[in-house]
Amino acid sequence: MSELRWDPLKKHWVIIATERGRRPLDFHQDNQPAKMISCPFCYGHEARTPQELFAIRPSGPSNSPNWKVRVIPNKYPVLRVEGEVKSRGYGLYDVMDGIGAHEIIIETPDHDRGLADLTVAELTDVLKAYRARYLDLRQDFRLRYMVLFKNHGTLAGATLQHSHSQLIAVPLIPPVATTELNVCRDFFAAKERCIFCDMIDFEISTGERVVREFPDYITLTPYASASPFELRLFPKQHCHDFALLNDSQLGGVALAMKDMLSRLKVVLKDPPFNFILHTAPPAHQRLGKPDYWGSLAWDYHWHIELVPRLTQIAGFEWGTGFFINPTSPEDAAAFLREAEV
């Protein structure tokens, strides 16, 4: 029979439709966007993008070739840095000015290589760029939350084939993050333990949904996976803030990421996916709530969420808030574990 499973972190129900039993081959699809004749993210086209904010390059001046990873402002940002945060009422509604930041992390100068194709050393450089931009943006007290994400493939929202991720900083805590942060805080208040640490210990003890375990990191399929082959990557030792990692620790994350991305590419033939890095928000004090983030370092646990875009949200999902997953996380973990990478 199908099962309804509750996700205690996201506070939603998932239907694991086991009788449908969809296997990896059922999800294979054409994923690549149309190739561009001239890509603005490639070597030699630096003048076609806004001035870079950060880059990793062996030598040479800013905005020149010879870079490994390059960060630029989005040419068409959804939010802009200039201005003050102003909130106002509009009848029953609330309105805020569109203040924030929107950046592009160009992960490689090679147009035809995806994130899964990069070496561990190259992935480490990408993670260093993530860390550098987090540390810089969180100095702006207007910005309350940063979400770093990657859309891979047209069905996941990618409009350019050249491998890149995005970082958007917003002047408030988004609802999804608020739910997760409140769950973590309440769990710690009741038990003086991190809910993620408890979850990781339980998953290691059962082993059913573990895809790969490294000395310091683990990848697994969540018990209440909303999407087929959904994956999460966790540090095994408690850490709330990705930006606190040193270069050696970033190398460990890169190794686990490389394994996770490679398995997904082998099993599902390079599927479209969304990749989200969840980390603690800046510990800026909130007006009237001086102790609001008092337990953040103990109750939160940074992690990476990877969601293949293999099914569509339709009427039932919109009408109920439930998700239907036709492949159990236990089966998905087994397929991924057995992949030869």
Active-site amino acid positions:
164
| DSSP sequence for 216-229 | SEEEE--TT-SSTT
Three-state secondary structure string covering 87-109: EEEECCEEEECCECEEEEEECCC
The residues, any chain, with a CB within 8 Å of residue 160's CB and separated by 6 or more, are 33, 36, 39, 41
Tokens of 85: 């945060």
Nearest to 65 by CA among 47, 91, 38: 47
Query: Cα separation of 311 and 240, whole Å?
Result: 31
User: In 3-state terms, what secondary structure has residue 323?
Assistant: strand
Please check whether residue 340 is in contact with residue 241, taking contact to mean a CB–CB distance below 8 angstroms: no
Query: Distance of CA 141 to CAs 88, 110, 148, 261, Å?
Result: 19, 36, 18, 34
Q: Which residues of 118-156 are buried (b: 16+ CB within 10 A; e: fewer)?
A: beeebbbbbbbbbbbbbebbbebeebbbbbbbbbbbbbb
| Side-chain-facing half-sphere of 99: CA atoms under 13 Å | 17
User: In 3-state terms, what secondary structure has residue 180?
Assistant: helix
Task: Decide the pairing of beta strands 273-278 and 303-308.
Answer: antiparallel
| DSSP sequence for 100-158 | -EEEEEE--S-TT--GGGS-HHHHHHHHHHHHHHHHHHTT-TT--EEEEEEEESGGGT-
Query: Cα separation of 275 and 256, whole Å?
Result: 14
